[in-house]
Amino acid sequence: MHQFKKLKVWQKSIELATQVHQLTKNFPTEERFGLVVQINRSAVSIASNIAEGAGRNTRKEFNLFLGYAVGSAFELETQLVISNKLSYIEDDLFETIRLDVEEIQKMLYALKKQLQVVE
C-alpha cells in the first residue's frame, strides 16, 4: 500500500479540488446542476482515484487508477475551457487554474511511468 498522502500530486490535487469548489460558487445558479456538478466531480475524482489506487493490492492496479485520475484531469480541463468560453471564469483565473491542471497531468504521467519501470 502506498502512502498517498505523501504524494505531491495527491496534495496538489486536493488543493485544486478546493480551489475549483470555491470557483464554482460564483457560477450562475442555472449551472448548479450542470457544469458546477460536473466540474466539482471531476476535480474531486483526481485525488480520489489517486487515493483509491494507492489502496489497491498491486502496482498495476495503482497504475490503472492513476490512469483514471489522468482522465478526470482532462475532463476537468475541458469543462473549465467551456466555462471560460461561457464567461463564467475570467481569463486570468482560467489560465492559472489551467496551468495547475496541466501540472497535475504531467505529475500523474511521471508517476505512472515510474510505476511501469518498477513492474
Write down the pLDDT at residue 55.
92
Is the pLDDT at 9 greater than 70, yes or no?
yes
Asked if 35 and 88 count as a contact pair (C-beta separation under 8 A), the reply is yes
Residue given cell 467551456 in the structure block: 82
CATH number at residue 70: 1.20.1440.60
pLDDT in tens, 49-107: 999 999 998 899 999 999 999 999 999 999 999 999 999 999 999 999 999 999 999 99
What is the pLDDT confidence band of residue 3, given thresholds at 50, 70 and 90?
Answer: confident
Q: What is the mean pLDDT of the chain?
A: 94
Provide the number of structural domains found in the chain. 1
Among the listed residues 7, 91, 105, the one whose alpha carbon sits nearest the alpha carbon of residue 53:
7
Q: Is 73 left (phi over 0), alpha (psi -120 to 50) or beta?
A: alpha
Reading the block at residue 25, the C-alpha cell is: 460558487
Write down the pLDDT at residue 10.
97
Q: Tell me which residue range forms the domain holding 110.
A: 4-118
Largest interatomic CA distance in the chain: 48
**H or E element, residue 108:** helix 91-118
Write down the pLDDT at residue 115.
84
Query: How far is the C-alpha of 44 from the C-alpha of 17, rounded, in Å?
Result: 5
Is the pLDDT at 42 greater than 80, yes or no?
yes
Among the listed residues 5, 26, 33, the one whose alpha carbon sits nearest the alpha carbon of residue 89:
26
